[in-house]
Amino acid sequence: MADAGDRKELWNKRKAITTLLPYAVRLERDGMGRMLDVCLRAAVVADDLGFVWFSSKFLADIFLSKATTRATLLVSPHFHWSFLDVGLGLVRQWVATVSVTPCTEEVAQGVVATLLRVMSQPEFRPHITFDVWSWLKRRPSLPPVCAGRRCGTHSNNVKAVRRLNDPEVFKSYLVVVWSEWNSLRGSGFDEMRDAIPQDFGGSGMGHHRADLIQRLGCVLGQLDRGIDYLRQHKPGVDEDDFEDMKDQYGELRGILLEVNIKAIARTSCLTQ
């Protein structure tokens, strides 16, 4: 864990980046994106302390009118959406921007990380279009410290994705949030555990189960390398989190394997 001096240094960097960001956004709009890239890299490092901007005036002035599409999509994962006075207007603008933006790996990371945060606010969910939900199917690799992934596994979020009734989207959501760096929220874990046999137990769901089993196998393989391996990427992981992750992902994989065996047995009976 970071000591008091480390945390003070990170907070100072956060304030400096916040001050530079409007200038970086304007430079990026004029074709000079290097400073924005530097700010974003620093934001990823500081994200574990909540790298956010609370000023609705700043957001309305910069991101609803002056930022490029790229700046909007790449900076938005670092907003603390629940504190935004202009949140609904910004969500609508963000959804409209996402809907007409070509996909790159960089953009997909920003969109999905933001989606995981926006969906956590009940008042915002009705404004997320299916086109935006579908970005989950791109399954971008999120950074080890990701606020969206951290808050995106609450049970209400799992339920919201399930209600789309699209197995590919739901599977992709699980692939994205099941990470070796993330201990799942208790209520979200319970919802996932209950959803597996209900949503992926059918005979036509074999390829989805295979993808999920493979993902969990990768996670458990990395967990087997020990807590020191995880701390190379996220120093704040403690022993309790580490043990929780091993238990949670092990149980989920066990449920999937059991569901898969039962589905294969049912299919065999029908073909005899």
Q: Under a CB-based contact definition with an 8 Å cutoff, are residues 106 and 142 in contact?
A: no
Average pLDDT of span 69-98: 79
Write out pLDDT tens, residues 21-52: 777 877 888 888 788 888 777 766 655 544 45
What share of the chain in percent tops pLDDT 90? 42
Q: Residue 84 pLDDT more than 80?
A: no
pLDDT band for position 65 (cuts 50, 70, 90): low
Q: Look at residue 185 in the predicted model and tell me its pLDDT.
A: 74
pTM reported for the whole predicted model:
0.84
What share of the chain in percent tops pLDDT 70? 82
